[in-house]
Amino acid sequence: MIEKIKEYVLSTLGTLITAVGLVVFLIPNDIAAGGVSGLSIILHSFVPIPVGVWMYILNGLLFLIAFLTIGFDFSAKTIYCTFVFNFFVDLFDRIIPLPKYTGDDLFLAVFFGTILTASGLAITFSQNASTGGTDILARILNKYFWISMGTGLLMVDVAIAVLAGLVFSARTGMYALLGVILNGIMVDFMMRGIEQSSEVIIISEKCDDIKDFVLNVLQRGATYIPAKGAYTGKERKILLVVVRRRELNELIRFIKKADPKAFVIIKEVRQALGEGFKELEEL
């Protein structure tokens, strides 16, 4: 229960940060860098309904389309984050308006807007949720045209950026396209930092002590691998452990204290799935 509450709190924080980046930097400068928010910025130029309200309308329509075409298989967290994100955008745009960047340098708007939105999205994605939107169109492309989710999402976002160029100006469209590219790169970079784990292989005379530390202090799992020294011919145990990056230094300090002569191999792991990490059933 506590873990679920933590996930919703972090997801809410992620949508809040994303909304701030959108409202302060992207919306005032018509930077339609993909997504439902980008499409809403474009539609707002034709029908002056607030961008946040357009997002409510579009997301409602997209969820209806998803239900009719691919079945309603979205998690409760995704639905929650989608509409909480809409709420924050509408709140900061017109109800409790935040100061907006309206300077002449569009690159600054794209750069700082993308940093904030990418940071927020990475936090939300790390909690197995998303802000919905054009993800639905990507799923439809995946189902009916066998286009991968990543490619489908990129195609939709690029199309929105190009449309922004046609509606506003070529300059604005190119900045919107730059925003799409930067956002993809930064979300991927930040997700690697958030989810990255380390695989640690330990060869030591104190494997039992190290195992106890891993199980009881770090509260991680550990596996013994039977081995035989090629030079000595001696039977021994190798300890295999996977830890979060923030736990790695703590583990290394303990190994150094328990057995300074231990042999340790550390490898970066892009993602760890299973007990103690992201559950497979959540994917």
Say which CATH number the domain at 237 has: 3.30.70.120
Are 8 and 142 in the same domain?
A: yes
> In this model, does residue 274 exceed pLDDT 80?
no
Are 42 and 129 in the same domain?
A: yes
Contact criterion met (CB below 8 Å) for 113 and 95: no
Are 181 and 274 in the same domain?
A: no
The domain boundary, picked from 194, 228, 251, lies at: 194
Using pLDDT thresholds of 50, 70 and 90, give the confidence band for residue 281. low
142 residue type, one letter: N
Are 79 and 167 in the same domain?
A: yes
Q: pLDDT by residue (tens digit) across 29-78?
A: 999 988 899 999 999 999 999 999 999 999 989 888 888 876 666 668 88
Are 60 and 113 in the same domain?
A: yes
The domain boundary, picked from 131, 163, 194, lies at: 194
Are 169 and 227 in the same domain?
A: no
Q: pLDDT by residue (tens digit) across 127-158?
A: 777 787 777 787 777 778 887 766 888 888 99
Q: Output the pLDDT for position 68.
A: 81
Lowest mean pLDDT among 189-198, 200-209, 229-238, 270-279: 270-279
Q: Output the pLDDT for position 73.
A: 60
Please compute the mean of the pLDDT values over residues 234-239 and round it to a whole number. Answer: 88
- More confident of the two residues 138 and 94: 94
CA distance 87 to 114: 20
Q: Output the pLDDT for position 78.
A: 80
If we measure between CA atoms, which residue out of 260, 222, 220 comes closest to residue 238? Answer: 222
How many distinct structural domains can be found in the chain?
2
The domain boundary, picked from 160, 194, 228, lies at: 194
Are 25 and 146 in the same domain?
A: yes
Are 271 and 208 in the same domain?
A: yes
Domain membership of residue 224 as a residue range: 196-282
Are 111 and 128 in the same domain?
A: yes
Are 179 and 59 in the same domain?
A: yes
CA distance 124 to 18: 9
Tokens of 39: 């499409």
> In this model, does residue 283 exceed pLDDT 60?
no
238 residue type, one letter: I
Are 128 and 237 in the same domain?
A: no
Are 13 and 64 in the same domain?
A: yes
Q: Alpha helices of the chain — where are they, by DSSP H? A: 2-21, 35-46, 51-69, 76-90, 106-126, 135-145, 149-167, 170-195, 207-213, 245-258
